[in-house]
Chain A
Amino acid sequence: MKNGALLIPVCLGWLAIFWLLPRAKPRSRILGAIIGLAALLALQATFLPPAGNIVRDGMFYLFSGSAILAATLMITDRNPVYAALWFALTTLSVCGLFLLNSAPFLSAATIIVYAGAIVVTFLFVIMLAQQTANANYDHRAVQPVLASVMSFVMLGALLFALQEWGGIDGKADDVAREGQFVAVDASSKANQFSQPPSSNKTEIGSMRVLGRSLFSDYLYVVELAGTVLLIATIGAIAIAPRRSQGTL
């Protein structure tokens, strides 16, 4: 069976997540942690071969492992404050992966927007709203069997598609193919400010290349995003409760 190796990490991961999901009666977390680590190791052996560069591989395993670990702890923690903090750790790990993808500006922006703004405001709301520390709705998961089975079937389908795609088995060549999925249209080619695909890969995340692409090819989209931000701000102010309606 050609794709049989895919079943081991998926089934082990499902078992770990299903074991760790919050229940009315708490379970031992050590067993779930052991199963989860076994799933990650099986996944590494099957799907995540080292690329050859030892520093890059080490950083990739570090960041991706901490991202997956923190995400697992976030969705299984019974305390919502800790869950939000685990989400902040996930964000930091993903920003490390962004750095590996030569996106330093994006990494800094994501840290500022997520860890600096979103997580902190959500933490404020959790702390304002939950004066009673133990809310029983945090201690029981909704339909844990159905939800975890469905999500892991989807994950298995994604991994299967990746495997069938061919690169994981080492069939894909190492040459980067420019514009394989998206062809550059004529109007973008005629735009003299448009940045041609850079051959220097360390440069693609720099402010210069990113800014040229943003404000030439995607100028209308930038305007549209600004409008969406403005509308969302107005909507949030309109929806949020007034002081005259009482505070929390």
Chain B
Amino acid sequence: MTSTALESQLVVGAILFALGMIGFLTRRNLILIVLSTELMLHGVSLNLTAFGRYHGNPQGQVFTIFVLTIAACEAGLALSLILTLYQRRKSLDVFLWGNLGEEDLPMLSSGNAPPQAKPIDPNIDLPQLTPAGRAPSNPATKA
């Protein structure tokens, strides 16, 4: 393998990374944002395998396997997060989540803060803690 082939692969990896970056910055759909990060990871994996072949050792491919592992974790977590967010607002638009502040707390920079849009249903937006463990027995009822 000649070195020109290595640099061709590096160029392709750089192009894929730049395209994924454009997608990450310009899309408003939550799912497409996550898919764009996966596109960037593809570019990086291409670089890693090209260097692994160039140096004739398996370290590049081993590292790509770990990248694959982290990408799978990231996709699973992102999917469950997207499902939860979609259930709250019934939309995949990322602009609906531009404001994560709580309404009853004052803004940090009070004064020139823009007025905030009201959520659709304030009861839906409250976080719900999952009940965990067993409820302790009430001593008043036992006695």
- Which A residues are within 8 Å of any B CB, using their own CB? 13, 17, 21, 43, 47-49, 51-52, 56, 60, 64, 67-68, 71-72, 74-75, 80, 83-84, 87, 90-91, 94, 97-98, 101-103, 105-106, 109-110, 113-114, 117-118, 121-122, 125-126, 129-130, 135, 137-138, 140-144, 146-148, 150-152, 154-155, 158-159, 162, 165, 167-168, 170, 172-174, 176-182, 195, 197-199, 201, 204-205, 209-210, 213-214, 217-218, 221, 225, 228-229, 231-233, 235-242, 245-246, 248
Contacts and interface: CB of A to CB of B under 8 A. Distances in A.
B39 A87 contact: yes
B52 to A, nearest CB: 7
Contacts of A68: 12, 15-16, 19
A154 B18 contact: yes
B22 A75 contact: yes
B55 interface: yes
Contact of A236 (B5, B14, B76): B76
B77 A232 contact: yes
B39 A90 contact: yes
Q: Which of A75, A141, A217 has the most CB of B within 10 A?
A: A75
Contacts of B42: 67, 90-91, 94
Contacts of B75: 117-118, 121-122
Nearest to A126: B31
B31 A125 contact: yes
Given A103-B61, A138-B28, A176-B55, A167 B16 contact: no
B29 to A, nearest CB: 5
Interface string B72-85: 11111101111110
A71 B35 CA distance: 11
**A-B CB proximity, top 10 nearest:** A75-B23, A232-B73, A147-B25, A155-B18, A240-B80, A141-B26, A137-B93, A101-B49, A197-B57, A158-B14
Classify the secondary structure of B's interface with A.
helix
A140 to B, nearest CB: 7
B58 A173 contact: no
A103 B73 CA distance: 22
B22 A176 contact: no
Contacts of A48: 8, 11-12
Contacts of B95: 137
A204 B29 contact: no
B29 A143 contact: no
Contacts of A138: 27-29, 32
Nearest to B87: A241
B65 A106 contact: yes
Contacts of B11: 43, 47-48, 159, 162
Nearest to B57: A197
A85 to B, nearest CB: 11
29 contacts: A49-B4, A51-B4, A64-B12, A67-B16, A75-B27, A87-B35, A90-B42, A97-B49, A98-B49, A103-B64, A106-B64, A109-B65, A126-B92, A137-B92, A138-B27, A143-B25, A151-B19, A151-B22, A155-B18, A167-B4, A178-B55, A199-B56, A213-B58, A217-B59, A232-B76, A236-B79, A237-B80, A246-B87, A248-B87
Contacts of A232: 72-74, 76-77
B55 A179 contact: yes
Contact of B59 (A60, A118, A148, A182): A182
